[in-house]
Amino acid sequence: MPHVSVGTETLYVAERKLDGSAYPPLVLVHGAGGSHLDWPASLRRLPGARIVAVDLPGHGKSSGSGCEDTQAYAEAVSGLFDALGIARAIVAGHSMGGGIAQQIALNWPEHVAGLVLIGTGSKLPVAPDLPERVVSDRDATLPWIVDGSWSAGALPAWKQRNLDNLQAVRPDVLRADYLACQRFDVREQLGRIAAPTLILVGSEDRMVPPKFSATLAGRIPNSTLVQIDGAGHMLPLEQAEAVADVVEEWLAEQTWAS
């Protein structure tokens, strides 16, 4: 079923089921103002893995409103595990989704077999006025967000699609997302993350620069950092095949408990 009841919300899930996978399910959590379509087909159809790509509450095809705290989003994703009968998963998060993934690992470690953190940090750098600007000055602010999210070599069509998608997000949901990003800070808790963690960042990420990924790698005990040259913040879409290759290789290198 593409729609799953979690608490009072109905979450949309794009799932590729697979019997007999060597890996735990890979759960994909998008970033601020995003949806499951922010994950490329190469990841949503990664060979040998059961994939669950979710639209967070208020996003994409899910019901509800945006949350002003990443912890609330983490609770929704954790509830999705229960609804789908997933005991343990590898949680992949991009940008705000990476913050959500970290909070799941910290608060429900029994659910987390591994983490894939992409273009994110233990704190997220959001301008103080951005939550209000996405409501009061959308015509100027949304193009500014898109421009900062891609590398100089990104195709105009990709950026236009990104802008179209952001314009379709309710202003109150986008505002809530950026408030949640501003409030997120787990810098002092990273040492508690025991799950194997893959950290991916684009060398041209201007939204969450590579130094934030370096901090994650320095403080999460069992982590691997990979920088992909020439990519911006929208790394999963801009370098889809490279990201899928790194994730697939990392999955194969780990020893997963049965």
Which domains can be identified in the chain, with CATH numbers? 3-253 (3.40.50.1820)
Q: Work out the burial of residue 156: count CB atoms within 10 Å of its CB; fewer than 13 is exposed, 13-18 middle, 19 or more buried.
A: exposed
Q: How many helices (H) and strands (E) does the chain have?
A: 10, 8
Cβ(113)–Cβ(47) below 8 Å: no
3-state helix, strand, coil in the chain (%, to 5): 45, 20, 35
Half-sphere exposure of 67 (CA within 13 A, CB side): 21
Read off the pLDDT of residues 214-243 as tens digits, 9 standing for 90 and up. Answer: 999 999 999 999 999 999 999 999 999 999
Q: Work out the burial of residue 217: count CB atoms within 10 Å of its CB; fewer than 13 is exposed, 13-18 middle, 19 or more buried.
A: middle
Look at residue 60 and give its three-state secondary structure.
Answer: coil
Dist. CA 81–CA 75, nearest whole Å: 10
Dist. CA 202–CA 248, nearest whole Å: 18
58: left (phi over 0), alpha (psi -120 to 50) or beta: left
Of the candidate ranges 13-22, 112-121, 249-258, the one whose mean pLDDT is the lowest:
13-22
pLDDT class for 258, splitting at 50, 70, 90?
low
Dist. CA 141–CA 156, nearest whole Å: 18
Choose between 141 and 9: higher pLDDT: 141
Q: What is the mean pLDDT of the chain?
A: 94
